[in-house]
Structure 1
Amino acid sequence: MTQDALIAAISIFTAGITIAIGSIGPALGEGRAVAQALAAIAQQPDEARTITRTLFVGLAMVESTAIYCFVVSMILLFANPYWDHFRAVGG
């Protein structure tokens, strides 16, 4: 296996693991946040607007973690900084 092929294989594997693990946490967090918001709205229906607004802000922050993982995996696949380094060292 050549050095380029090894870097490609490791990059693809790491990108897949990044997406797989990086999407589990936000999914669980979003599910719990929605469940808690629904419970709060059920207990205090008059505050539904405030709870909903706060929920959407919180969901956006939780989702940003998954987006960061997606960006890292895209960098590993398409703009890998190690390609140029190993090509320069390898000749």
Structure 2
Amino acid sequence: MDDISWFALGSTVIAALAIGIGVIGPAIAMGRAISSALEALARQPEAERPIMRTLFIGLAMIESLAIYVLVIALIILFRNPLLEYLVESGG
């Protein structure tokens, strides 16, 4: 295999690892947020609306972290400037 093939293979593996590792944090945070919201609802059922509203806003913020990881991984895969440099240098 030539240098470009190795570089593309490495970029793909790194992007897959980045997605896998990068979503662990948001997944744990979402689980903790939902668990805490359920505990709060069990203690104060009459405060359901404010708790749920805050929960959904928090979950949206946490989910944005996972989306950022996906965007960076897609940039690594499809718009990698190092790959363009390797192609131009004839490597």
1:2 alignment counterpart: 2
Q: Which amino acid aligns with 2:38?
A: L
1:3 Cα deviation from its structure 2 partner: 1.4
1:77 Cα deviation from its structure 2 partner: 1.5
Q: Which amino acid aligns with 2:6?
A: L
Distance in 2, matches of 1:39 and 1:69, equals 30
Alignment gaps of 5+ in structure 1: none
Alignment gaps of 5+ in structure 2: none
Equivalence map 1:14-29=2 (5 Å): 14-29=14-29
2:74 alignment counterpart: 74
1:30 alignment counterpart: 30
1:83 Cα deviation from its structure 2 partner: 1.6
Deviations 1:55-75 (A, max 9, x none): 000001111111011111111
Length-normalised TM-score, structure 1 = 0.92
Q: Percent identity?
A: 47
When the two chains are superposed, the root-mean-square deviation of aligned CA atoms in Å is 1.2
Runs of 4 or more, structure 1, over 3 Å off, are none
Distance in 1, matches of 2:66 and 2:76, equals 15
Distance in 1, matches of 2:46 and 2:82, equals 55
Length-normalised TM-score, structure 2 = 0.92
